[in-house]
Amino acid sequence: MNSIPFIAAYMTEPPEASFSQTVPKPDAQSVLDLLEVAIDARAELMDERRESALRLFNGFYEGCPELVIDLYARTAIIFNYAHNPTVLQPVVRAVQEYLFYRFPWLNAVILKLRKAPDPQQRRGIILAGEKPDLKIREHGVWYAIDPLISQDAGFYLDTRGLRAWAIQNSANRRVLNTFAYTGSLGVAARAGGAIQVVQMDRNRHYLNLAKASYSLNGFDIDRGDFLCGDFWVLVGRLKRADRLFDCVFIDPPFFSASETGRVDLIHHPERVINKVRPLVCHNGYLIVVNNALFFSGAEYMSLLEKLCASGYLSIETLIPVPPDVTGYPHTCRRPPPVDPSPFNHPTKIAVLRVRRKDERCE
């Protein structure tokens, strides 16, 4: 394992506390104490223009497993993961007040009840303030966001390092972004000078947000580069068209199923990799993301090494998750439920290099 280059920035060591220990019912003051320490640790990530996005508090690791708080420009999002959301109501009220006290420039605070039966409550309700922000800036690139588009915020903070990699490694390349969601990895590739980026997702609303990001950055929009449909069908179509890409991103949900195929990142993560692999040109990149919480890093590395045994794939580097998402050594109270090492978080990101028998490059 030590022979594999690892991008060292953002690395943290998880604490020794047991993730499975009994969690006491949270009280407002204890959570506010934890939140203050967490926000102080992230002070250097705050930008004066209030344009960036970051995780203010990751309660899974920082002391309150039912609570996660993100900041998108001037909009704060509170995620309530409690099975009975009312248990956390006093805490949420106190957190809301504290956020406005700590950040008086906030435009809005949104609450998402992740376990609620009502889809609208899962997507979020505005607790206070006005219309939420609709764009953020990261690494000098603008991204359109819609904080109420889904139960997530429409923009994944744990792949910030991967977007930086895309900006640095996409010049003059043809890129395919599968499971694109709102297209942030493809937007980063365009910002990095990619000559073509194909964005693929089954939800047209998400792809429209990717187009909005293009407009924010002044990128030309070619409708033919936005493919809406089933992953398995679209990949088959690209294969039949004999398309090749210099770089392919695979960041799927940990489980999904359709009539044409199944994504299962715990039991069969190799399926999506093998499906897409023929689309990568000789010496091209295949970037794979596995966010299965209970799939250990050692197991995933073992699987990747088996895929590489033929010599036609090799592991080039691992990209860590940033510290505002993982928590910091002095803010963490518990590690992930399953050891993610050699990755630093259950979102496991690996850059693979592809070698083809036919050595085709285009």
What single string gives the DSSP state of each residue in 159-170? GHHHHHHHHHH-
Return d(Cα 99, Cα 93) in angstroms, integer. 10
Contact (CB, 8 A) for 217 and 191? yes
**Identity at 324, one-letter amino acid code:** D
Distance in angstroms (rounded) separating the CA atoms of residues 164 and 289: 15
pLDDT beneath 50: ranges in the chain? 1-22
- Tell me, what's the pLDDT at 24? 62
55, β-bridge pairs? 70
**Entry field: residues in the chain:** 362
Residues 127, 39, 88, 15, Cα dihedral to 10°: 150
SS3 273: helix
Structure tokens at 106: 């906030």
pTM given for the model:
0.92
pLDDT at 19: 43
* Pairing of the two strands 125-129 and 108-113: antiparallel
**Whole-angstrom Cα distance, residue 34 to residue 29?**
9
CA distances in angstroms from 182 to 150, 164, 240, listed in the order given: 11, 17, 26
